[in-house]
Chains A and B, each alone.
Chain A
Amino acid sequence: AQKVTQAQTEISVVEKEDVTLDCVYETRDTTYYLFWYKQPPSGELVFLIRRNSFDEQNEISGRYSWNFQKSTSSFNFTITASQVVDSAVYFCALTAGYSTLTFGKGTMLLVSP
Chain B
Amino acid sequence: DAGVTQSPTHLIKTRGQQVTLRCSPKSGHDTVSWYQQALGQGPQFIFQYYEEEERQRGNFPDRFSGHQFPNYSSELNVNALLLGDSALYLCASSLRRTGSSSYEQYFGPGTRLTVT
Give residues in A with beta carbon < 8 Å to B: 4, 33, 35, 37, 42-47, 50, 91, 93, 95, 97-106
Question: Does the CB pair B45–A33 fall under 8 Å?
Answer: no
Closest to B47 in A: A100
Closest to B88 in A: A43
- B residues 41-78 in Cβ contact with A at 8 Å: 41-45, 48, 55-56, 58
Cβ-defined partner of B107 (8 Å) among A4, A45, A99, A104: A45
Q: How far is the CB of B36 from chain A (nearest CB, A)?
A: 11
Chain B residues whose CB sits within 8 angstroms of the CB of A33 once the complex forms: 103
Q: How far is the CB of A102 from chain B (nearest CB, A)?
A: 7
Give residues in B with beta carbon < 8 Å to A: 31, 33, 35, 40-45, 48, 55-56, 58, 88, 90, 92, 96, 102-110, 112
Question: Does the CB pair B108–A44 fall under 8 Å?
Answer: yes
Question: Does the CB pair B105–A101 fall under 8 Å?
Answer: yes
Chain B residues whose CB sits within 8 angstroms of the CB of A44 once the complex forms: 107-110
Tally inter-chain residue pairs, CB-CB below 8 A.
Answer: 56
Given contacts A4-B42, A91-B42, 14 further A-B contacts (CB under 8 A): A33-B103, A37-B107, A43-B88, A43-B112, A44-B107, A47-B106, A50-B103, A95-B103, A100-B33, A101-B35, A103-B42, A103-B43, A105-B41, A106-B41
Closest to A99 in B: B56
Question: Does the CB pair A98–B96 fall under 8 Å?
Answer: yes
A46 to B48 alpha-carbon distance, docked (Å): 20
Cβ-defined partner of B58 (8 Å) among A35, A100, A104, A106: A100
Task: Give the residue among A4, A99, A100, A106 with the most B Cβ atoms within 10 A.
Answer: A100
Q: How far is the CB of A78 from chain B (nearest CB, A)?
A: 20
Task: Give the residue among B42, B58, B90, B106 with the most A Cβ atoms within 10 A.
Answer: B42
A33 to B2 alpha-carbon distance, docked (Å): 25
Question: Does the CB pair B42–A43 fall under 8 Å?
Answer: no
Question: Does the CB pair B43–A101 fall under 8 Å?
Answer: yes
Q: How far is the CB of B1 from chain A (nearest CB, A)?
A: 14
